[in-house]
Chain A
Amino acid sequence: MTADILIQVLVSGLLIGLIYALVAVGLTLIFGVMDIVNFAHGEFLMLGMYASFWAFAIFAIDPIVALPLTALLLFAVGVIVYQTVIRRILKAPMLSQIFATFGLMILLRGLAQFFWKPDHRLIPHSLVSGNIALGSVQFGLPQFVAALGAVGVTGALWMFLHRTRLGTALEATAIDREAATLMGIDGQKMFALAWGIGAACAGLAGGLIATFFPIFPEVGSNFILIAFVVVVLGGFGSVTGAFLAGIIVGLIEVLGGFLIGPEYKTAIVLSLLLIVLLVRPRGLLGKA
């Protein structure tokens, strides 16, 4: 293996890893704040992609331009999901919690299929297209822009969590819910906020990849398991951990696929999940 190929592989891994990170930060935020695994998280990404698609198909708005709208829309979806379903299962047995979000996952897929057909769709002419060549290393401009966007959004989220009052309260709730409640933070409000932000992050990831990834009702399934791995590796509830872990998972996936075979890349990532769960369940940066 020459150095050029290695660099090419690493760059691809990095680019996709940053997207994984963005999908996972929302998931980890929700889990950290309320100990609920959101199986429907991939569907938030799917909705983000469709939002971009329809903005493009109906209003001819480019996915990149439509990003703020996508974020707002998905924030609303997240809050609505929380208020209608999640709020009612906060104290329910774990089985009910798993199945509530699992049901949401299937419901959103079903609705997408019903209204938008199971076809694969593409956004043909985005503002960003074509390839960039840096020496011998080549990568797509859409992928590059998406990765850049992912860094921007994750960075903005980090700033929000660490530099604003509301964000600090949310972060505090994610780190130690009981302590946060004792400090007078309104749990319900934080929960709703976590769902809104979590969904918005996934939606933004969807909007960012809509320029180069096929759009179909089941697209979320490609991302949800990987997002789980990222969340576990990064440590449940840790945004910084998820960001780092996203990059690591992206690199391992692409590198592993390259070395062992692309058909095994998901298996490799999932094996990583098992290894992390067994060896260091709290993840890289997670609370004990």
Chain B
Amino acid sequence: MTTATILSRKGVGTIALLALAALLPLAVTEPSQQNFLILILMGAQMGVAWNIVGGYAGQVSLGHAVFYGIGAYTSTMLLLTLGLTPWIGALAGGLVAAAFALAMGWPCFRLKGHYFAMATIAVAEIMQILVTNSDALEGAVGLYLPMDQSGWGVLIFLSKLPYYYVILGLLVLTVLVSWAIERSHIGYYFRAIKDEPEAARALGVSLTRYKLIALTVSAFLTAMGGSFYAQKEMFIDPGSVFATTISIKIALIAILGGVGRLTGPVLGAVILITIEEYSRTLFGSTGSGTDMIIYAAMIILVAVFSPSGVLGLLGDLHRHLGRHLPGAKPAGGETSAKEIRP
């Protein structure tokens, strides 16, 4: 009974949120502000994708830029050389990234914890160097998307609005995949692997197989985000899509909001992108270091005081208040599945 009410309340909330997101550009018409919304959705999409492997399965990748870059370069190269529509190019990018994830995960998942994180940084850095020195990919010069075409076929638009709806759609897709995983046995296995890998094995869970599933799905979705980036910016170079700073940002969005929770990364993106953009406009353009200082202070505060992210903080607050409200019931049943601590 309670479960049903909560679920339907959740359903109504989700639909309301989606409607709000769909209608938001009607209120926010300024292109720069629309761009800001797009950046938030892009950040959220990356974070939700990272969360699958880094949050649920607890395998901290600090090299996700490698998938982002593969996505951006694959779709762009297919468009430039074969004239292939990015609709298919993005899928191809996702597949290439997924294949790369399999190849990289196979050896790297023999490593645990800090070692795995370091190996992922190394893989991404190596990739950045290789692409920077590749003539076929125009090396450090980068790739420009064709300026003379636009429309839904090539996914290049003169206004911001279509980009907003494309990335909103991609975010919804990413959240849906994440949600489906969370609710299936795979989600349970991921959390088991994160909590107690040896115990999970004793229950018949193959660590390699499920870690690979996590990384592959995450890589696929991250690559699609990379393809979108290329379409939106119409220019990519190794520094803008393969850099370790991108990897960090992706992971940070998830950890800031709350890892291992469906909505954590979305919240993280709202907070992080807002800070990034506002510190830039408030304190002048990049170079002053203020944006970095604020950014870093937040990372440290979250790491030290709230390992479960802002969402965890809100959860604690909610529980705390709930205890003092008359008629409040302790969380249980379906809701407890969402109360995941990292």
Q: How many residues of A contact B (CB 8 A)?
A: 43
**Closest approach, in angstroms, between the C-beta of A269 and any C-beta of chain B?**
9
Please judge, given known A-B contacts A85-B300, A270-B125, A274-B119, whether A98 and B290 are in contact too, CB under 8 Å. no
Interface 9-residue window, one of B85-93, B156-164, B302-310, B320-328: B302-310
In contact, B295 and A264 (Cβ under 8 angstroms): no
Chain A residues near B274 (CB-CB < 8 A): none
Residue of chain B at shortest CB distance from A119? B287
Bound CA–CA A96/B297 (angstroms): 14
Bound CA–CA A80/B264 (angstroms): 32
Chain B stretch 77-119: residues in CB contact (< 8 A) with chain A:
107-108, 110-111, 113-115, 117-119
Bound CA–CA A99/B111 (angstroms): 19
Bound CA–CA A94/B304 (angstroms): 12
Bound CA–CA A265/B233 (angstroms): 31
**Closest approach, in angstroms, between the C-beta of A191 and any C-beta of chain B?**
16
Please judge, given known A-B contacts A85-B300, A88-B304, A92-B303, whether A232 and B289 are in contact too, CB under 8 Å. no
| Contact bitstring B235-259, A, C-beta under 8 A = 1, else 0 | 0000000000000100110010001
A267 at the interface (CB under 8 A from B): yes
In contact, B111 and A281 (Cβ under 8 angstroms): yes
| Contact bitstring B126-170, A, C-beta under 8 A = 1, else 0 | 100110110000000000000000000000000000000000000
Interface 9-residue window, one of A105-113, A154-162, A165-173, A179-187: A105-113
Chain A stretch 242-283: residues in CB contact (< 8 A) with chain B:
261, 263-264, 266-267, 270-271, 273-274, 277-278, 281
Please judge, given known A-B contacts A93-B307, A99-B302, A228-B118, whether A264 and B293 are in contact too, CB under 8 Å. no
In contact, B289 and A112 (Cβ under 8 angstroms): yes
In contact, A96 and B289 (Cβ under 8 angstroms): no
A214 at the interface (CB under 8 A from B): no
In contact, B303 and A96 (Cβ under 8 angstroms): yes
Chain B residues near A85 (CB-CB < 8 A): 300, 304
In contact, B119 and A273 (Cβ under 8 angstroms): yes
Bound CA–CA A105/B248 (angstroms): 12
B331 at the interface (CB under 8 A from A): no
A95 at the interface (CB under 8 A from B): yes
**Closest approach, in angstroms, between the C-beta of A228 and any C-beta of chain B?**
6
Residue of chain B at shortest CB distance from A263? B133
Please judge, given known A-B contacts A85-B300, A277-B115, A278-B107, whether A98 and B62 are in contact too, CB under 8 Å. yes
Question: B residues engaging A (CB < 8 A)?
Answer: 54, 58, 60, 62, 107-108, 110-111, 113-115, 117-119, 121-123, 125-126, 129-130, 132-133, 248, 251-252, 255, 259, 287-293, 295-300, 302-305, 307, 342
Additional A-B contacts beyond A98-B62, A270-B122, A278-B108 (17; CB < 8 A): A95-B60, A96-B302, A96-B304, A96-B307, A99-B251, A99-B300, A106-B296, A109-B289, A110-B289, A110-B296, A112-B289, A217-B289, A232-B115, A266-B129, A267-B126, A277-B111, A278-B107
Please, could you name 8 A-B residue pairs with CB atoms under 8 Å apart, sorted by A?
A93-B342, A94-B60, A95-B259, A110-B295, A225-B121, A264-B133, A270-B125, A274-B119
Q: Which 7 residue pairs spanning A and B have beta carbons closest together?
A: A113-B289, A110-B292, A103-B299, A107-B296, A103-B300, A114-B289, A106-B296
